[in-house]
Structure 1
Amino acid sequence: MMQNEISDALLFKFFLGETTNEETDRIAAWLDENPEEHQQRMKKAHELFVNSIMGEPDLIPEADRRIGYRLLHSRPVRRVVGLAAALLVAVGASYLFFDSRMERMAGAPTSIEAPAGQHVRMALSDGTIVELNSKSRIVYPALFTGRERRVRLEGEAMFDVRHDEEHPFVVETYACDVEVRGTHFNVMADEETQAFSTALFEGSVAVRNKLNDEHILMEPNTVVNLRNGHLWLDELTDRDDYLWTEGIISFGGDSFGQIMDKLRRYFDVEIEIRRARLPEVKYKRLKVRTSEGVDHILRVLQRGSDFAYEYDDLENRIVIR
C-alpha cells in the first residue's frame, strides 16, 4: 500500500470516529507498514483536524479546509470550550490507539478537566454520559476492557451510565468507590476539604468507604455523605445543589461563609474577607446563572446581605468589607 492511498479525508473520518471497520483496519495496516513516517503523516493530519475544530482556518491549506469543512459540518458541532476539549481528548485517544497494539493501548488512561466557571459534557466509549463541574477532573481509559468499567474522579460529576450487567461501572474517588450497573447519579469528592457525597436519582449504586470498608446500597432519591470517616444515608429532599448541569448555582440556606466557599471553588477566585463578623444572608433560596459571572452574583447577593466588595478581574481577586 502506498502512502497516498490513505487520504486526509479518511484520517479526518477516523478522528471523528466515523470510519467503517474495513477503513479502520486499512489505517492500522498502513501505520504498521512504516510506523515512523506514517505516524508523522498522521500527526500532521491530526493538527489540521484540531485547527478545523478550534476555528483557525487561516492555518489550513484550501484543499484540506474544504475536506475538513465537509466532515466537521456534516452534523451539528457546538464550538464551545467544553465540547472541543472532550472531542480533542477523544481524538487523542483514537490516535494513540494505533500507536501500538490494541491490547496494550486500549486501557491507557486519558484525562479531562473542566475549566473554572464552566462545566463539560462528554461521552465515554461505552456510551456513558458524564458532566464535569467546574475545576473537576476525570481519568478514564480510551476503551473499557476487563470485568469492570472504572474511572477516577476529582471534584464533582453527574453520570448517566449505560446499562451493562456484566460490566459494572465504578467511580473511584479519594475516599469512596461508587459501583453501578446503569443509573443516574451525582458524585462530589473534594480531597482538599475532605468532602464526599453521592446523590442517586435513578437505579441503584453501592458506596464503599475506603477507610473502614463499610458499604451502603442506595435507592433512588437518597444521598450519602461522609461525616467523621463514616457514611451516612439520608433522603434526598432538595435537588437545587445539582442544578450546575443546567448552568445554575444554588445557595439555598447557605451562610455567607458557605457562599464564599462555593464561589471560590466554582470560579477559582481568591476571596479575602476583611471584617470581623460575617454578614447575615436574608435569602432563604437563591439561584443564579453561572454564565453571569462572579461579579454579577455578588451584586445580587448584596441585595439580601450587608457588605461591600472590591473585584480585581485582572488578578481574579475579591476583597469583602
Structure 2
Amino acid sequence: MESTDILKYLEGRSSEAEKRKLVKWLDASPDHVKEFEEIRFVFEMTKIYDSECREFLAERSDKPMKVRLGGRLPRIVRRLGGVAAAVVLFFGAGYLTYLHTVNSFSSQYTSLDVPAGQRVDITLADGSRVWLNSGARLEYPVVFGRHERMVKLTGEAMFEVEHDEDHPFIVRTFASDVEVLGTRFNVVADEKSRRFSTILLNGSLRLTERTTRAGAVLNSGDEAHWLNGRFSVSKVRDFDAVCWTEGLISVRGQSFEELMRKFETAYNVRIEIARQTMPVIGFASGKIRISDGIDHALRVLQHTSDFTFTHDPKKNVVTIH
C-alpha cells in the first residue's frame, strides 16, 4: 500500500473500492496497522506543525512510509510530549486505529435499488454473490464488521454465501433475520404485502422472527413461509420458483392475479384488470422467458386462458379484458 493511498483516505477522498482494499491490507499484518498509524499521526500533526510535517510527507510521498527511531517523526513526537506520546503511538494506537477504521467502514451502509424490469447481480466484499430481482433493494456495508456479515433486504434475492464460520452471514428483513449456516438460498421479503418466504437449495439456515424472536432451522430442500409471526417449514414443492435468476418466470402454482403482479415488476409495466372474474391459468407448469416481452407472455397464457388484452405503449399500460 502506497502512502499516497493512505493519505487519500485520511483526506476523505477514497472510493468504496479503495476503502475495502485498505481494510484488507490492514487485516493482513500488524506491521501494516503500525505503518497506517504512523502516517495518520504525521497527517494529523500537520494541523500543529504544518510546514515541518508537510515537508516530511512530501519527501516520502513516492515510496512506502517507514519511520524509524531517530528520524524526524520521533523529534515531532518529543515536541508533543516525549516518551509518553511515543509509547501511545507505537504500542497502543495502531491496534485501536485498526479497530476504529474497521468499525467505521462497517457502519457505513450503501444501498442498491433494482429498477422494475431489470435484474442485477453483485459480489460483496467477502466474495459472496447476490442476485437481485426486479424492484429489490439491498443495503450492505462498505466493509463487513469483525464479528458478523449483515445485509438488509427488501424484495427478492438469491444468495450464494462464502463460508466463514467465525463471521456469520445474516440477511435482515422486515419479518425475520436469516442467519446463513449454508451457502445458497432464495429470499422473498415484501413488506408491503407482508409476504416473507425462503427456499434453501443447499446447506442450512436459521430464521429468527423480528418481533417474537421465534425461530426455525432449515436444511437443504426446505422452504419456509411466514404468517402472523410464525414460520411454516416444509419440503420445497417447486424449485422453479427460483428460475427468475435465469430470466424466466414460472407459472406453476400461480393464480392469474399473482402472475400479473409478477409481470408488472418483471416487465416494468402497469397491468389493469378490467373484468369481473379472474381468468384461470390452464398450465399446470411452465416457464416464460422475460426477454421475449409482455405481449409474448400474455399470448402464451391465452392458449389456455380465456381473456383478451390491449397494450398502450405510450402510457405503458396493459389492460386485461
* Cα distance, 1:183 vs structure 2: 1.3
Contact 2:179-2:205 within 8 A present in 1 as well: yes
1:273-284 equivalences in 2 (<5 Å):
273-284=273-284
Q: Could you give the per-residue CA deviations for residues 145-204 of structure 1, whole angstroms, max 9, x where no partner exists?
A: 131100000001111111111110000000100001441111110001110001111111
3-state SS of 1:189 partner = strand
Contact 1:114-1:136 within 8 A present in 2 as well: yes
CA distance in structure 1 between the partners assigned to 2:101 and 2:302 by the alignment: 57
* Cα distance, 1:221 vs structure 2: 0.1
Greater gyration radius:
2
CA distance in structure 1 between the partners assigned to 2:155 and 2:145 by the alignment: 25
1:179-198 equivalences in 2 (<5 Å):
179-198=179-198
> What is the percent sequence identity of the aligned residues?
39
The letter for the 2-side match of 1:277 is T
Aligned residues: 243
3-state SS of 1:94 partner = helix
* Cα distance, 1:102 vs structure 2: 3.3
* Cα distance, 1:286 vs structure 2: 2.2
The letter for the 1-side match of 2:310 is E
Residue 94 of structure 1: aligned partner: 17
3-state SS of 2:263 partner = helix
Contact 1:253-1:283 within 8 A present in 2 as well: no
CA distance in structure 2 between the partners assigned to 1:155 and 1:120 by the alignment: 13
Residue 302 of structure 2: aligned partner: 302
Q: CA RMSD in A?
A: 2.1
Q: Could you give the per-residue CA deviations for residues 60-112 of structure 1, whole angstroms, max 9, x where no partner exists?
A: xxxxxxxxxxxxxxxxxxxxxxxxxxxxxxxx5236778x9834234310111
The letter for the 1-side match of 2:255 is S
TM-score, normalised relative to structure 1: 0.71
CA distance in structure 2 between the partners assigned to 1:203 and 1:317 by the alignment: 42
CA distance in structure 2 between the partners assigned to 1:149 and 1:298 by the alignment: 41
Residue 105 of structure 1: aligned partner: 105
Contact 1:148-1:167 within 8 A present in 2 as well: yes
3-state SS of 2:199 partner = strand
Residues 210 and 31 of structure 1: CA distance in aligned 2, closer, same or farther (over 3 Å): closer
3-state SS of 2:178 partner = strand
The letter for the 1-side match of 2:145 is T
* Cα distance, 1:268 vs structure 2: 3.6
CA distance in structure 1 between the partners assigned to 2:182 and 2:161 by the alignment: 5
TM-score, normalised relative to structure 2: 0.71
Residues 107 and 277 of structure 1: CA distance in aligned 2, closer, same or farther (over 3 Å): same
Q: Which moved more, 1:224-233 or 1:163-172?
A: 224-233
Q: Could you give the per-residue CA deviations for residues 117-166 of structure 1, whole angstroms, max 9, x where no partner exists?
A: 22111100001111001110100001101311000000011111111111
Residue 215 of structure 2: aligned partner: 215
CA distance in structure 2 between the partners assigned to 1:156 and 1:255 by the alignment: 19
CA distance in structure 1 between the partners assigned to 2:273 and 2:219 by the alignment: 41
Structure 2's unaligned 5+ residue stretches are 23-39, 41-99
* Cα distance, 1:27 vs structure 2: 1.5
Contact 1:161-1:181 within 8 A present in 2 as well: no
* Cα distance, 1:257 vs structure 2: 1.5
The letter for the 1-side match of 2:253 is G
Matched, 1:27 2:5: yes
Contact 1:164-1:181 within 8 A present in 2 as well: no
The letter for the 2-side match of 1:135 is G
* Cα distance, 1:312 vs structure 2: 1.6
Q: Could you give the per-residue CA deviations for residues 263-285 of structure 1, whole angstroms, max 9, x where no partner exists?
A: 12333422111111112221111
Residue 84 of structure 2: aligned partner: none
3-state SS of 2:165 partner = coil
CA distance in structure 1 between the partners assigned to 2:167 and 2:9 by the alignment: 32
Contact 2:9-2:19 within 8 A present in 1 as well: no
Residues 284 and 269 of structure 1: CA distance in aligned 2, closer, same or farther (over 3 Å): same
3-state SS of 1:196 partner = strand
CA distance in structure 2 between the partners assigned to 1:143 and 1:314 by the alignment: 43
Residue 15 of structure 1: aligned partner: none
Residue 58 of structure 1: aligned partner: none
Contact 1:187-1:197 within 8 A present in 2 as well: yes
Residue 231 of structure 2: aligned partner: 231
3-state SS of 2:213 partner = coil
CA distance in structure 2 between the partners assigned to 1:246 and 1:168 by the alignment: 28
3-state SS of 1:278 partner = coil
Matched, 1:287 2:312: no
